[in-house]
Amino acid sequence: FSLMRDTWSDGDVSVPKPHFVNNSWGSGLDSGAWIGSEANSRAVDAEVWNENQVYVFAAGNSGPGAATLSQESSSKNALSVG
């Protein structure tokens, strides 16, 4: 997440850090019934809170059944879509 914390500059042009950060990660085969308190979820929550940014995650649905969301999309401070 560190790439999204600071203003970006190429020497001539300077761009402020983004307000929204879109993430479309696959959930892989290790999906489970995430409850939002796992390490990855807590890292997302902290980043959103500390950097005052909105993190959007694709739900990462890996099937039609229950417990098919990605771990990061279960974060309490993230916006999950899909």
- The pLDDT assigned to 27 comes to 53
Look up the pTM and report it.
0.73
Q: pLDDT confidence of 77, banded at 50, 70, 90?
A: very high
- Across 51-76, b (16+ Cβ under 10 Å) vs e yields bebebebbbbebeeeeeebbbbbbbe
- 26 or 80, higher pLDDT: 80
> pLDDT tens across 14-70, in order?
888 888 888 887 655 555 677 888 888 899 999 999 988 999 988 876 767 777 778
